[in-house]
Copies of this chain bind each other. A is one copy, B any other.
Amino acid sequence: MPRVSQSHLDARRRQILDGALRCFTRRGFHTSSMQDVLTEIGLSAGAVYRYFSGKEEIIQAIAEEMLRDFAARMTAYVEQDDVPAFEEFVRQLPAVSAHVTGNPETAGMLLQVWSEAPRSPGLSAAAKSGFEEIVAVLTKVVVVYQDRGELSRDVAAEDCARVIISVMQGYVLQRAIFRTGEMESFQAAFAALVRTAPPLS
């Protein structure tokens, strides 16, 4: 049996996930058959089943990647030497989350993941660990702003983090179902709602 390099395995896995995402976002997760997915990927069933047991494992991997990517972008944000003002942070959320919120189809994928989660232990674990990771990173962001006097200290940083996430989750939902507009004016409204307290002097 020929040896297969790690980079070859990684490239195949990438090819599968990219093709499946294209297929799911165009046709929907439920209405895509495994054959539709295979056709889009351009690989045989045998090649794909070597990596994933089926549609559910593929969507789980896509969701994990989406959430991990988002958490990584947030971590990079909070580890900057010079974290921007809170209002600026809120305004940057559309760019940070564009890989999910940029169009109704990818937003719809995340909605699929959420709705399947209560019935799928694997998806539920993936969604939960992604959510908790993002809550943890955003809590650090909120603490930075509380220390700088830009956000109230009267409230638990983790609760603030969950509210900031809820605004994004609600946007994803509105985008996926009601096909509402771009995230920019939406987050601008959130930024305007959040009147930042004057910095500590």
Contact = CB atoms under 8 A, between A and B. Distances in A.
Contacts of A193: 151-152, 155, 160, 163-164, 193-194
A196 interface: yes
A173 interface: yes
Copies of this chain in the oligomer? 2
B194 A114 contact: no
Interface string A163-190: 1111111110110111010000110111
A94 to B, nearest CB: 13
A176 B118 contact: yes
Give the interface size class of chain A.
35 or more
A195 B16 CA distance: 47
A124 B108 CA distance: 14
Interface of A: 28, 30-31, 108, 111-112, 114-119, 124, 127-128, 131, 151-152, 154-156, 159-160, 162-171, 173-174, 176-178, 180, 185-186, 188-190, 192-197
Given A159-B186, A163-B186, A170-B170, 17 more contacts: A111-B118, A127-B178, A128-B178, A151-B192, A151-B193, A156-B185, A156-B189, A159-B188, A163-B193, A164-B193, A166-B168, A166-B169, A166-B186, A169-B169, A169-B170, A169-B174, A194-B194
